Chain A
Amino acid sequence: MRWHEICGFALAISCSVGVSEARAQSPYGIGRPATAAEIAGWNIDVGRDGSNLPKGSGSVSHGREVFAQQCASCHGDNGEGGVGDRLVGGQGTIGTAKPVRTVGSYWPYAPTLFDYIRRAMPQNAPQSLSDDDVYAVSAYILNLNGLIGADATLDATSLAAIKMPNRDKFVGDARPDVK
């Protein structure tokens, strides 16, 4: 892509600047150092490989309870959708004329589910669930989609190990595609 070529050059310059600055002062001396504790408190990014997932775990059965209390009013009792997105079903529809995009049919990476629920759900009180509850709700939604068993419990390792059905269906941006 064009910007790769143009900006690869800019990047090369910037990186060399960055390296040479590494032991130097900041150019403008603006801002203050962020401490490790401050970063840990704010960095809630979970990688697609499960990196930065927190400790803790949650079961499908506990997730069912949390979901009923916190999620079902918008997403339906069984994740069928409502005011909120449909979360369940649709596998096998993505390449058809009427695709049904859900966690089970479309989402490429399971750790993203934890990341999103923790940062943004429930919509009326985001970042209010404990990490254990987020694992549990993630487990319940994955169970509703037939991707883990009803007796499963998820933690950082087992969540990252789930292979989502649609994972290999994403491709790069091929535009301009009409010439």
Chain B
Amino acid sequence: MSNTIDTSGKFARSTRRRFLQGGSAVAGAAVLGAGASAAAETENLPPNVPDWMKSPGDPMGSQPYGAPSPFEKGVIKNISNNLKQYISASGRTPLQELDGIITPNGLFYERHHGGVPTIDPAQHRLMLHGLVERPLIFTVDDLRRFPSESRIHFLECSGNPGYSKPYGKTASDLVGLLSCAEWTGVSLKLVLQEAGLKPEAKWVIAEGADAAALTRSVPIEKCLEDAMLVYSQNGERLRPQQGYPLRLLLPGFEGNMNVKWLRRLHVTAGPAYSREETSKYTDLLPDGTAREFSFYMEAKSIITRPSGGQRLGAPGFHEITGIAWSGHGKVKRVEVSVDDGKSWQEARLQEPVLTRALTRFRFPWQWDGKPAVIQSRAIDETGYVQPTLAELLKVRGENYFYHNNAIWPWRVAADGEVTNALA
């Protein structure tokens, strides 16, 4: 915001605002950024009074749906620019830029297999059929009439990351197919009971209304335990990228099974053996056998600050913080090592510590300015301890592809640069 424009009267101000509102966010950010950088060195610092106190700010209504500060324009999804295609593709959450445990909806990771459909909720239906007493069709409004609930859970793609090099540079490159939100919807159990399960019902095949008609089979036990039909995320309706107007949520199960744009639930005696659960999302072992129906995401953690791509400015106090999670329940403990795994100390867990949700951990660190390797490991309420990559590779080999929950160490160089210690 330059003085020239801001002090030249109301007419000029409103003209400038129309330009900013009419232009793209990037153009607006560039203008503000340029103005700020010219003045920022000293003019806005003590003892001077900053520019933004000398005239009123943007009027109410300048952003009917709020957007982040233009100075945060670099905090966006991490989407590779050299994918083979962008219809069946994924985009990652910038984990190293975020605090707390809730992922903003605009930064929630994406994985879709047939693009993102634009669905008119008035024309969307959920069909529930198969081994039920009463096959039913629901509108989205119907589903909102059921008793509702809200729960905080993480979602993680099972290929997050793979087992072979090249390994990513940042926390997002490594495990950015991970996000966490407060979900609101109806317990799937209630909806299944509405139709009446037959005794031989053992699986539910869920199908999306996307161009992949993506199909996964879910054991009935999970459907009756904690599965939800979700219509809202972090207080607002689902984003199209997250399945608007309706998605399946299976807390702790691999992301692919949480079928988006949900249109059909087929209750069956056995799984579908769909393409997604046979040719994909099966875990290939060195002996040529492959594990199928491997649903759970095991305990995992990663330090997000300091992490790859960041730089410590100087020796001294630095808080180490990160996230931990487990598909099997609550995180019981997180341990941090700052000496390349020689010793481990307990990190402090930020409340709330919730079942199948991200848990934020923190650890105070005095960096002595010497090269260091820092890492975290999660222990969940089953007692399971997050393993090293070497331990996983020994059992699973490099072609297992999915469900890599390895400890990921960061190397801190003497100049403060942080890089992937396994790369």
The interface of chain A, by Cβ under 8 A from chain B, is: 2-4, 6-8, 10-11, 14-15, 17-19, 21-22, 26-28, 30-34, 38-39, 42-45, 47-48, 83, 94-97, 99, 101, 103, 106-109, 112, 115-116, 119-120, 123, 126-127, 169-179
The stretch of B4-12, B290-298, B306-314 in contact with A is B290-298
Known contacts: A112-B278, A178-B391. The answer to whether A14 contacts B127 by CB under 8 A is no
Question: Does B339 have its Cβ within 8 Å of any Cβ on chain A?
Answer: no
| Interchain nearest-CB distance for A53 vs B (Å) | 13
Q: Restricting to B92-113, which residues have a CB under 8 Å from any CB of A?
A: 113
Question: Does B396 have its Cβ within 8 Å of any Cβ on chain A?
Answer: yes
Contact of B275 among A94, A112, A126, A174 (CB under 8 A): A112
B292 contact set on A, CB distance < 8 A: 170-173
CB <8 Å contact, B129 and A26: no
With both beta carbons as reference points, the residue of chain A lying nearest to B287 in the complex is identified as A95
Distance of A120 Cα from B287 Cα, bound (Å): 31
CB <8 Å contact, B194 and A30: yes
Question: Does B336 have its Cβ within 8 Å of any Cβ on chain A?
Answer: no
Distance of A48 Cα from B294 Cα, bound (Å): 19
CB <8 Å contact, B146 and A30: yes
B199 contact set on A, CB distance < 8 A: 15, 18-19
Question: Does B189 have its Cβ within 8 Å of any Cβ on chain A?
Answer: yes
Given contacts A38-B127, A83-B84, A173-B293, 6 further A-B contacts (CB under 8 A): A22-B196, A47-B270, A108-B273, A115-B272, A173-B292, A178-B387
Contact with A along B292-332 (1 / 0, CB 8 A): 11111010000000000000000000000000000010000
CB <8 Å contact, A4 and B221: yes
Known contacts: A7-B222, A21-B133, A175-B403. The answer to whether A119 contacts B396 by CB under 8 A is no
CB <8 Å contact, B133 and A18: yes
Contact of A7 among B84, B128, B190, B224 (CB under 8 A): B224
Q: List 28 A-B contacts (CB under 8 A).
A: A14-B189, A22-B133, A28-B146, A28-B190, A33-B134, A33-B136, A34-B127, A34-B128, A34-B129, A38-B127, A45-B268, A95-B287, A108-B273, A108-B278, A112-B275, A115-B215, A119-B213, A120-B113, A120-B114, A120-B214, A123-B88, A123-B211, A171-B289, A173-B294, A175-B291, A175-B403, A178-B392, A178-B394
Known contacts: A14-B189, A173-B293. The answer to whether A106 contacts B213 by CB under 8 A is no
With both beta carbons as reference points, the residue of chain A lying nearest to B192 in the complex is identified as A14
Question: Does B350 have its Cβ within 8 Å of any Cβ on chain A?
Answer: no
Distance of A164 Cα from B295 Cα, bound (Å): 24
Distance of A42 Cα from B113 Cα, bound (Å): 19
| Interchain nearest-CB distance for A96 vs B (Å) | 8
Distance of A83 Cα from B87 Cα, bound (Å): 11
CB <8 Å contact, A126 and B213: yes
Distance of A3 Cα from B327 Cα, bound (Å): 12
With both beta carbons as reference points, the residue of chain A lying nearest to B384 in the complex is identified as A176
CB <8 Å contact, A42 and B225: no
Question: Does B274 have its Cβ within 8 Å of any Cβ on chain A?
Answer: yes
Known contacts: A18-B196, A22-B196, A173-B291. The answer to whether A10 contacts B133 by CB under 8 A is no
Closest 8 CB pairs of A and B: A95-B288, A7-B221, A18-B197, A119-B213, A116-B275, A173-B294, A31-B136, A34-B135
Question: Does B15 have its Cβ within 8 Å of any Cβ on chain A?
Answer: no
Distance of A7 Cα from B220 Cα, bound (Å): 9
| Interchain nearest-CB distance for B202 vs A (Å) | 8
Distance of A34 Cα from B133 Cα, bound (Å): 11
Distance of A174 Cα from B391 Cα, bound (Å): 15
Contact of A42 among B214, B263, B287, B294 (CB under 8 A): B263
| Interchain nearest-CB distance for B262 vs A (Å) | 13
CB <8 Å contact, B224 and A94: no
Distance of A15 Cα from B222 Cα, bound (Å): 14
Distance of A51 Cα from B190 Cα, bound (Å): 29
Q: Restricting to B45-94, which residues have a CB under 8 Å from any CB of A?
A: 84-85, 87-88
B193 contact set on A, CB distance < 8 A: 14, 17-18, 21, 27
Distance of A43 Cα from B127 Cα, bound (Å): 9
Distance of A31 Cα from B146 Cα, bound (Å): 10
Contact with A along B137-150 (1 / 0, CB 8 A): 11000110110000
| Interchain nearest-CB distance for A164 vs B (Å) | 10
CB <8 Å contact, A11 and B213: no
CB <8 Å contact, A112 and B274: yes
Question: Does B371 have its Cβ within 8 Å of any Cβ on chain A?
Answer: no
CB <8 Å contact, B296 and A175: yes
CB <8 Å contact, B224 and A14: yes
CB <8 Å contact, A43 and B194: no
Most chain B beta-carbon neighbours within 10 Å: one of A21, A34, A126, A174: A34
Contact of A175 among B195, B286, B298, B391 (CB under 8 A): B298
CB <8 Å contact, A39 and B142: no
Known contacts: A28-B146, A106-B279, A119-B212. The answer to whether A169 contacts B288 by CB under 8 A is yes
Known contacts: A45-B215, A176-B384. The answer to whether A10 contacts B221 by CB under 8 A is yes
Distance of A15 Cα from B133 Cα, bound (Å): 11
CB <8 Å contact, B286 and A95: yes
Q: Restricting to B125-176, which residues have a CB under 8 Å from any CB of A?
A: 127-129, 133-138, 142-143, 145-146
